[in-house]
Structure formats: C-alpha cells, structure tokens
Amino acid sequence: MPELPEVETVRTGLAPVMEGQVIARAEVNRPDLRWPFPERMAERLTGQRVERLRRRSKYILADLSSGETLLVHLGMTGRMVVSGDPLGRFVHEHPLPEKHDHVVFHMENGSRITFNDARRFGAMDLMQTATAEQHKLLSVLGPEPLGNDFHEDHLIAAFRGKNTPVKAALLDQGIVAGLGNIYVCEALYRARISPRRKAGKIAAARVAALVPIIRQVLTEAIAAGGSSLRDYRRADGELGYFQHSFDVYGREGAPCKTPDCIETIARLVQSGRSSFFCPKCQR
C-alpha cells in the first residue's frame, strides 16, 4: 500500500493540472470501490474548481469550490495518472480506456486524470470542507510526521508505558500519521533500534532521536519519488526510485550496510507484516 511519500509524490504531481482548475466532467464507471461512491458523485464534481490539493496521512484531499472536499485513498493498487497536460509537464497523450479505469476527471484545461485500481481496494468520498477533519477516517489520525506537532515530547509521551513492540507503535496511525511498513523498517535501522523492542522500554533519548530520523527517511523518499515495489506509479506514470536506497526493507539475507558489520539482514513477522532488520546493529 502506498505510504506517505508515495501519496505526497502523487499529490505534487497532480497539483499543476488540478489546483485552481475546473473539473469539466467527472466520469464514474462503477458504483463502488472499497465502499460505495457518494450519491451523485459525478454530478457533484462536475463544474467544480479544485481550490486546493492537500494530503492528510495517506489520503489526498481536494477542496472544491462547492464547499465539499473529495477524499481519495489509493488502496493497494490505485493509481492517479495524468495525460494531455497543456502545460507540457506530462508528455503522455490520452491513452485508450482500460478495464480498471474507475473514475476519470476531464479537466477544463484539457488534461485528464484517471483513477485506475485493479484490485479496487481504493476509496473516494465527499464531505463538507469545513468539517473535513471530523470525517471518520481523519478524526482518528495522529500528527503528520513532517509537521510541527510531531516532536520529541509527543513521541516520548506516546511510547510511555506501551508494552507493544516499537514497530507496532510507529504503525499506529493515532501516534503518527502516514507511516507504513517500509519506512518504519528503514527508520528503525537508522536509529539502531530493534523492531522487537517494547516501545515503553526504550530510553527517552533514543525515542527523541527517532523523530529527526523519521523526518529524514520520509524527506529522502519524497525526493526520490517514493518507492515502486509492485503497482505504485507517480502521476506522470513513472516509477519511484527510493527502493534502490533501502538499507533493510526486502533485503533478507543480504549483507548489512553498516561498515564493519558482518551480519546479514533478517526478517521476522510481526502482526502479519514482515520486519527487516540487522540483528547485530539494532538492539
């Protein structure tokens, strides 16, 4: 599933052709994805100007001139790909429709944004912009890891007394929003913390040091266009490249990258997810 860097990369790719532009026609080709689309979604989107395109955790939010906000979640295999951009940022002509093109935004500027989702685990919803933060998917989220509300004191307090592994704590979207399996593995490696260590047993200084490390990992991933492992594509249809910089994720059995470490990367399963780590470097 795309994590924060992938969703942010898609958002920044969509912004030049959507922000400030009018949706001339919205085309909805099925009644649902992970859940049913809102009533009259195509009608409610058509003719609306996208005032602002933003991100909250792993969700893209498009604030519309109607006073509503469109929430988009890419799910496991969802893609939002731009074609026919008159500004020249995207070289792709409009492709022929494909089987899994479920929602298409025909923009007044001549560009087209296609939401394609083979497994249909993605989702869209419409809500009032003024109360968007009260939406059931957004109201439970913790602070953004690249925002001012995510700081050392917050993470120390969130970990205090927690008997769950630190890996699970960092995946808790109520503690920090947008982190997923890939970037938690990478951050814990850089922090030299074992994914098995109980969150409440980690010294405050080590927890505090995690905050800038998490920020650094995410910033580097965004700069690389995210990580393309299976289905993820940027808005221009190209792959992300951060997967080529992984220190541990997906590298089971490969040598640890720490100088002078002769250990190999190990994998263990925690709550149904693979954790990759160096047994020597991470304690």
What mean pLDDT is reported for the chain? Answer: 92
At residue 127, the pLDDT reads 98
Cα angle 95-100-103, degrees, rounded to a multiple of 5: 80
Q: Give the pLDDT confidence score for residue 243 in this predicted structure.
A: 72
Question: Please, is 31 exposed, middle or buried when counting C-beta atoms within 10 Å of its C-beta (0-12, 13-18, 19+)?
Answer: exposed
Tens-place pLDDT, residues 143-192: 999 999 999 999 999 999 999 999 999 999 999 999 999 999 999 999 99
pLDDT interval class at 89 (50, 70, 90): low
The pLDDT assigned to 44 comes to 98
b/e burial code for range 51-84 (CB count within 10 A of at least 16 → b): eebebbbbbbbbbbebebbbbbbbbbbbbbbbbb
- pLDDT (0 to 100) of residue 232: 58
From CA 229, how far away is CA 239, in angstroms rounded?
9
How does pLDDT run across 20-53, given as a tens digit for each residue?
Answer: 999 999 999 999 999 999 999 999 999 999 999 9
Q: Does 85 score more than 70 pLDDT?
A: no
Residue 276: which of 257, 81, 14 has the closest Cα?
Answer: 257
Q: Which residues are catalytic?
A: 2-3, 58, 273
Chain CA centroid to CA 257, Å = 26
Q: Round to whole Å and give the CA distance between 145 and 43.
A: 36
Domains, the chain, ordered by start:
4-134 (3.20.190.10), 152-277 (1.10.8.50)
Q: What are the structure tokens assigned to 247, written together?
A: 């220190």
pTM passes above 0.85: yes
**Burial (CB count within 10 angstroms: exposed 0-12, middle 13-18, buried 19+), residue 191:** buried
Check residue 8 and give its pLDDT.
Answer: 93
